[in-house]
């Protein structure tokens, strides 16, 4: 993501700078459009820095004498807009347990995407079903909710999926519905910076699940 962010920033700097040649600006706009359309990391970085606004301003400043450059930049605008939706539904099967999660734009925070640590922890849960059977589980930093949802499907009596960004909480509610876990799993806001609430949650007797994103 860091490299993608640097590339996106460099391309936008070139595109908006009228001091560069039209050819150089066109190449930057094409590179941006190509990467954004092919790679979700680039799409997320473009959305994070509001590339559409930068591109639209650059296009508006171009005179009729440079219609070719304007057309290329407008194409990049359309590409960034098309890629900005960001939501992707992914299905996983752990032994015979199927879990459906939703990834959303990284502009909503790192918890909007599924990370490898969550998949690794999920396999650990499958290999140790007694950890979940009949238990009450609290997932910290649930992200897209993979581990918590799987815990519910492995027989947990109750699962609380927590995070603190509003878009992440909304997405977690959809994930709970998608997996038909209403009544077993619920979503709650929990900011780790609020030490009093975090301490209360961890002292409640609920096993803690934490995969730092997912």
Average pLDDT, 10 consecutive residues per value, the chain (214 residues)? 90 95 95 88 88 93 87 88 72 92 73 82 94 94 95 96 93 96 94 64 53 56
Residue 48, both tokens: 């994070």
Q: How far is CA 205 from CA 49, 58, 137, 162, in A?
A: 42, 57, 9, 16
Q: Are residues 130 and 179 in the same domain?
A: yes
Beta bridge partners of 100: 91
Q: Give the pLDDT score at 7.
A: 96
**Does residue 30 sit in the same domain as residue 110?**
no
Q: Are residues 64 and 151 in the same domain?
A: no
| C-alpha span between 51 and 106 (Å, rounded) | 14
- Predicted local confidence at residue 107, as pLDDT: 61
The reply to whether 163 and 133 lie within a common domain is yes
Strand partners, 159: 137, 185
Three-class DSSP category at 134: coil
| 3-state SS assignment for residue 50 | coil
22 and 61 assigned to the same domain? yes
Per the structure, the count of domains in the chain is 2
57 and 157 assigned to the same domain? no
pLDDT at 29: 95
Q: Tokens representing 177?
A: 């519905």
Q: State the pLDDT at residue 208.
A: 56
pLDDT value of position 21? 95
Domain final residue pick, 66, 83, 100: 83
Partner residues linked to 188 by β-bridges = 162
Q: Are residues 115 and 156 in the same domain?
A: yes
The domain spanning residue 181 has which CATH number? 3.40.50.150
Q: What is the pLDDT of residue 203?
A: 47
Same-domain check for residues 37 and 139: no
CA nearest neighbour of 59 among 43, 48, 75, 47: 75
Among 28, 52, 83, identify where a domain stops: 83
φ and ψ at 97, to 5 degrees?
-95, 115
- Asked if 97 and 72 sit in the same domain, the reply is no
Residues 32 and 73 in one domain: yes
Same domain, 103 and 79: no
Last residue of a domain, one of 83, 98, 114: 83
Spatial separation of the C-alpha atoms in residues 52 and 164, rounded to whole Å: 27
pTM of the model: 0.58
Full domain range(s) for residue 191: 88-210
Question: CA–CA separation, 121 vs 69, rounded Å?
Answer: 49
Same domain, 23 and 74: yes
**What is the DSSP secondary structure assignment for residue 212, as one 8-state letter?**
S
The pair phi, psi for residue 163, each rounded to 5°, is -160, -175
Greatest C-alpha distance within the chain: 71
């Amino acid at each position: 993501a860091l490299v993608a962010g640097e590339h996106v920033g460099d391309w936008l700097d070139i595109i908006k700078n009228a001091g560069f040649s039209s050819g150089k600006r066109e190449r930057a706009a094409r590179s941006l459009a190509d990467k954004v359309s092919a790679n979700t990391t680039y799409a997320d970085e473009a959305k994070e820095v509001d590339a559409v606004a930068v591109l639209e301003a650059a296009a508006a400043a171009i005179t009729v004498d440079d219609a070719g450059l304007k057309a290329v930049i407008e194409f990049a605008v359309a590409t960034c807009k098309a890629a900005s939706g960001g939501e992707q539904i992914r299905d996983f099967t752990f032994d015979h347990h199927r879990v459906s999660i939703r990834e959303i734009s990284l502009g909503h925070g790192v918890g909007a995407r599924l990370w490898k640590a969550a998949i690794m922890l999920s396999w650990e849960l499958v290999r140790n079903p007694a950890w979940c059977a009949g238990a009450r589980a609290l997932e910290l930093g649930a992200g897209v909710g993979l581990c918590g949802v799987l815990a519910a499907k492995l027989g947990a009596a109750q699962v609380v999926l927590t995070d603190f960004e509003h878009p992440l909480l909304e997405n977690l509610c959809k994930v709970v519905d998608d997996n038909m876990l209403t009544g077993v799993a619920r979503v709650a806001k929990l900011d780790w910076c609020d030490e009093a609430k975090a301490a209360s949650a961890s002292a409640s007797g609920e096993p803690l699940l934490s995969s730092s994103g997912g």
